[in-house]
Amino acid sequence: MSRDVFIFSTGKLHRKHNTLYFTDEEGKSRPLPVEQAESIHLFGQVDFNTSLLHILTQHDVRLHIYNYYGYYDGTYYPRNSRVSGYTTVQQSAHYLDVEKRLYLAKAFIYSAVHHMQRNMRKAGTGLQTHIDTMASRAALLEEASSVPAVMGIEGQCRQIYYDAFPLMIREGTFSWEYRSKRPPHDPLNALISFGNSMMYTSIVSEIYKTMLDPTISFLHEPSSKRFSLSLDLAEIFKPLLVDPLIFNLVNNRRIQKKHFSNQEGIIHLNEEGKKIFLAAYDEKMKSTFKHRKLKRNVSYRYLVRLEAYKLIKHYIGDETYKPFKAWW
């Protein structure tokens, strides 16, 4: 089974014959299983050269790079052989047609709302008012006639969700005031931003394995320097996968305040905290569940790719897109 490889240390990533090695600052080398690697994630200061890129291309391995705070910077992709001009044309046509674009934008938010409400239900009593209020806001999607209006409704629903966080976080762990991103102003916000960054990267990797163009999106406006379709799909998977994982790690005190650092007012996970989160995240993405339609077990990582395949079928007219909604 392919797996993700995470590197936190400073050192050099290099090729020796047909094997990939990582050499740390002390000169100690260890081989990396390039034949089994899905992606390599670089969190440390790592040197590499074009020889490395050649072997990554041969084995179809992506190289994801993160900044000092652990947030996604960019990716090296091997040459993509999964291209389809017809699919790209149809994907573009769905962006250019207002009604077709609106349908997809709303679909992503319907799924996001479903999973946010699901998290609140699982949190226990005292959140029914938040659930009902969110449902009333989500009902406005039916009449929304523009993508900005859809985004506005999404913002209202998410604010209701964030207002419920104090009732979803166990007392004595972390405090919560409001959502802040650039930079996160407290540990819980830093944890959410880091988790969302990892989800974005996972979706980028899965889209790469399909014929989709990652820059043509529907809810988020396409722009330069980002794979905006990944942001669209992340609306589905952040509340389904990232948020429950965060609640579990925090409420069970597997991640505590000692796992964060403050650098010039920027709160971020330290190395130990990143390792704890990434171990749990990787385990979740590899875990499986019985897919109701496919009648077989699929991993959550593969579930992301299935969502991409559903979009392709929608573009080419095979099957109307219905966003994933967890039924359990």
Binding-site sequence positions: 154, 220, 235
User: Looking up tokens 């704890």, which residue turns up?
Assistant: 276
Query: Residue with structure tokens 């999106």?
Result: 217
Q: Are 73 and 63 in contact (CB under 8 A)?
A: no
Binding residue ranges for Mn(2+): 154, 220, 235
Q: Are 236 and 307 in contact (CB under 8 A)?
A: yes
Contact 251, 169 (CB under 8 A): yes
Residues 6 or more apart from 198 whose CB is under 8 A from it?
A: 72, 242, 277, 278, 281
Give me the helices (H) in 29-77, please.
50-58
Listing DSSP states for 5-64 in one string gives EEE-SSEEEEEETTEEEEEETTS-EEEE-GGGEEEEEE-S-EE--HHHHHHHHHTT-EEE
Instruction: Name the DSSP class of 169.
Output: S
Tokens, residue 24:
């740390």
Q: Is 7 exposed, middle or buried (0-12, 13-18, 19+ CB in 10 A)?
A: middle
